[in-house]
Amino acid sequence: MKRKVALIIGTLSLSTIGFAGLSPAAQAVEKPPIQGVEEIAVEVIEAGDVTALNACSNNRLCLYEHDNFTGSPYVQIQLAQGYCGNLPAAYNNWASSQKNTYNRSVWFYDRASCAGAHGYSAAAESQDKDLTNNGFDNKTSSLLL
């Protein structure tokens, strides 16, 4: 039953993305089993200009408050593979665009502690300038690498 729901979401996301000409989201990648839950220690970055906004370090997930990777500060997140990370309260239901510089997918959850089905997945080394296209604007509460 769970698998069926995930497949339907994936199909919807792919069609939306195909239309938008971007390629950030749902692919048929196996989600790792969740080994534990931890609070995410975010690296908060003040972005005074566009150059700073474009600099998302390797092996990080960067979240931005607004579309098109804008809003200052933004946050850079290091995730432990297989561990669910809860976003701090200040960044809960906050992200509107993302960059994933991991060579693995990152799963985004609406609920804390990666409970329930994931609502969105960021493909390896992808970015998404507007999470609204995937119905996930200001929803992200926890993340799984």
Report CA dihedral (56, 36, 143, 10) to the nearest 10 degrees: 120
Does 67 interact with Ca ion (rule: CB under 5 A)?
no
Does 23 interact with Ca ion (rule: CB under 5 A)?
no
Of the pair 28, 90, the CB lying nearest Ca ion is at 90
Q: Which of 16, 27, 45, 110 binds Ca ion (CB under 5 A)?
A: 110
- 97-100, strands of its sheet edge to edge: 43-45, 74-77, 61-64, 97-100, 126-128
Does 129 interact with Ca ion (rule: CB under 5 A)?
no
Minimum distance of Ca ion from residue 32's CB (angstroms): 21
Which residue stretches of 68-144 are H helix? Answer: none
Residues that bind Ca ion (CB under 5 A): 65, 93, 96, 110, 138-139, 141
